[in-house]
Amino acid sequence: MPLQVQLLPTSLGDHSQTQSLTSFLINDTIAIDAGSLGFSLGGAQLANVGHVILTHSHLDHIASLPIAIAEVFPRLKRSMRIYATPGVLKAVQDHLLNGVIWPDFSRIKMLGSNNMALEFIPIEPRIPFDIDGIRFTPIPVNHEVPTIGLVAQAADATVVFTSDTCCTDDIWAAASTHSNLRAIFVDCSFPDEMEQLAIQSGHLTPRLVAAETAKLTRPAKIICVHIKPDTRDKVLAQLAAHHERQISPVEIGKTYHFNGVDNV
């Protein structure tokens, strides 16, 4: 089972490299976060996504979930599964799919079926769960609200997603335990001169990313995401100084293939 990862653009046909909403697509069938999922994929592609893992309740990670489920509803052959910690599931149920902002699709039957369109699946920190041949382990990180990063293990490769985080130890320790670790997609929201804001809001800067990755005990590509559009140029310039440590900005829309020793 290969591991393919794409950071989706913010909307369909958006070829810019600015990212204000977060969704990763894994192997066409799994999404991590739904910030842009429902805005950036057309109906047929969206219909392949049967599983959505939410890392936390912030809007830039859940904004398009209501649109995604409504878009895909007529094509649904099985319930769309939403995985998150109980607190995040409750936030989504109370404030988003609450019958006011949007219908609660976990109470709406799929066309021609007695099964509901949406299924909420609680997950717990450090308890692995398997989806379509990938093992995911949620690891708590350091953000404004309870947030999990994810360790994603396929047969030949392990890739880690920090989600939104400031300085933290556990996810770097968890990543270091995997001999086939290939890459870490890490928060790098703000430039170095905004370090105070980054720390207050639970994010990282290029300098902090470099310091954090020194906690890793094995090599991996460090791919920076969540770069705020307004200060993106500054972040890119500062990341260039850390290039020799395999730290680079993500290419939005590119499909990264992680299988075996060589990464593409």
Residues whose CB is less than 8 angstroms from the CB of residue 112 and which lie 6 or more positions away in sequence, other chains included = none
Question: Among 51, 58, 228, 234, which residue interacts with Zn ion (rule: CB under 5 A)?
Answer: 58
**Nearer Cβ to Zn ion, position 227 or 239?**
227
CB under 5 A: which stretch of 83-91, 131-139, 163-171, 248-256 binds Zn ion? 163-171
Q: How far is CA 122 from CA 55, 152, 169, in A?
A: 12, 17, 24
Question: Among 33, 71, 104, 164, which residue interacts with Zn ion (rule: CB under 5 A)?
Answer: 164
Residues whose CB is less than 8 angstroms from the CB of residue 174 and which lie 6 or more positions away in sequence, other chains included = 137, 139, 151, 160
Amino acid letter for position 176: S
Total residues interacting with Zn ion, rule: CB under 5 A: 3
Question: Among 60, 71, 104, 212, which residue interacts with Zn ion (rule: CB under 5 A)?
Answer: 60
CB under 5 A: which stretch of 66-74, 91-99, 158-166, 244-252 binds Zn ion? 158-166
Shortest distance (Å) from residue 56 CB to Zn ion: 6
CB-based burial, 93-131: b 16+ in 10 Å, e otherwise: eeebbeeeeebbbbeeebeeeeebbbbbeebeeeeeeeb
Shortest distance (Å) from residue 170 CB to Zn ion: 17
CB under 5 A: which stretch of 38-46, 57-65, 73-81, 86-94 binds Zn ion? 57-65
**Nearer Cβ to Zn ion, position 60 or 71?**
60
Shortest distance (Å) from residue 113 CB to Zn ion: 34
Bridging pattern class, strands 80-84 and 247-249:
unpaired
Positive or negative: CA dihedral 68, 49, 36, 208? positive
d(C-alpha 134, C-alpha 191), whole Å? 34
Shortest distance (Å) from residue 148 CB to Zn ion: 12
Query: Would you call 186 helix, strand, or coil by DSSP?
Result: strand
Shortest distance (Å) from residue 125 CB to Zn ion: 17
Shortest distance (Å) from residue 257 CB to Zn ion: 25
33 lies in the site for Zn ion, by CB under 5 A: no
d(C-alpha 150, C-alpha 138), whole Å? 5
Nearest to 227 by CA among 236, 218, 219: 236
Binding site for Zn ion (CB under 5 A): 58, 60, 164
